[in-house]
Amino acid sequence: MREINVDTIKENIARMCIEANHYLDEDLKECMASHLAAEPSEVARNILESIGKNIEIAEEGIFPLCQDTGMACVFMEIGQDVHITGGSLEDAINEGVRQGYTEGYLRKSIVRDPLDRVNTGDNTPAYIHYDIVPGDQVKITVAPKGFGSENMSRIKMFPPSAGEEGVKDFVVETAKLAGANPCPPIVLGVGIGGTFDKAALMAKKALLKPLDKPNESPYYDEMEQELLERINSLGIGPQGFGGRTTALAVNIITAPTHIAGLPVAVNVNCHVSRHKTVVL
């Protein structure tokens, strides 16, 4: 049995909260560069170049990528042979978020209750999801999620008769309804199957997938590419000013479901699709 102290987890989460808000992964920057090279609209190219400049400025470590530094979404994959020591794991995660957002001078955006709207002042509590996996390691992913894009997300409980075309039309419709609101070019995470809550979780986890790797399933890889093409044909473009670059990627995750159901969730992310991961 391997032991990991909560202080180690807290320190890593604090660091990742800051880093995720300043540095994008190379796969996303390369994806954006490839779309810039293929973009026929001069206005759209200018906007994509401005986005690239914003990324460079953020990497200087003073200003974050976006003024909405997001709700801290923390995904924990905990090996079943790990013993967490030194206190409460949940408290350590929230303390890491508190320290990261305070020391990094990141905007505090969390309210204690959805209706009384009183700000907690330190961006806690975080959204936390735990998975127990084989092994003796802990994998932590911190994904700050802005709500300009989160608010454009949708879920629908289809009957099975909706089929593939119903699913694809729903994804494209979601991007069309979102328009310029989520600061395109967007990244779409799609969850298909499971239950109502499982579909939404898969859609959010799909946003964490590398953009430079094809879907493990050839069937869904083809669907992702078709959806990306259809969405980029909508003409919304970067920041809603037209062009071919409305979306950078569509990532799909699926799960078994009930014979009577076809749940579909679409989690929308803006072009700063932020996340950092560490394995302890």
Look at residue 223 in the predicted model and tell me its pLDDT.
Answer: 98
pTM of the model: 0.95
Question: Does residue 95 form part of some domain?
Answer: yes
20-64 pLDDT, tens per residue? 999 999 999 999 999 999 999 999 999 999 999 999 999 998 999
Cα–Cα distance for residue pair 75/153, rounded to 1 Å: 19
Does 190 map to a domain?
yes
Q: Which of 128, 145, 162 is the last residue of a domain?
A: 145
Domain that holds residue 263: 148-273
Same structural domain for residues 169 and 234?
A: yes
Within a domain: residue 32?
A: no
Q: What is the pLDDT along the chain (280 residues), one digit of tens a residue?
A: 899 999 999 999 999 999 999 999 999 999 999 999 999 999 999 999 999 999 999 999 899 999 999 999 999 999 999 999 999 999 999 999 999 999 999 999 999 999 999 999 999 999 999 999 999 999 999 999 999 999 999 999 999 999 999 999 999 999 999 999 999 999 999 999 999 999 999 999 999 999 989 999 999 999 999 999 999 999 999 999 999 999 999 999 999 999 999 999 999 999 999 999 999 9
123 & 153 share domain: no
**105 and 119 inside one domain:** yes
Task: Label residue 100 exposed, middle or buried (CB < 10 Å: 0-12, 13-18, 19+).
Answer: buried
| Residue where a domain stops, chosen among 95, 121, 145 | 145
Q: Are residues 12 and 119 in the same domain?
A: yes
Kindly give the residue spans of alpha helices, DSSP state H, lying in the chain: 6-20, 26-38, 42-58, 89-103, 147-150, 163-178, 196-206, 218-232
Q: What is the pLDDT of residue 1?
A: 86
pLDDT of residue 79: 97
94, 110, 145 - which closes a domain? 145
Contact (Cβ atoms closer than 8 angstroms) between residue 271 and residue 44 = no
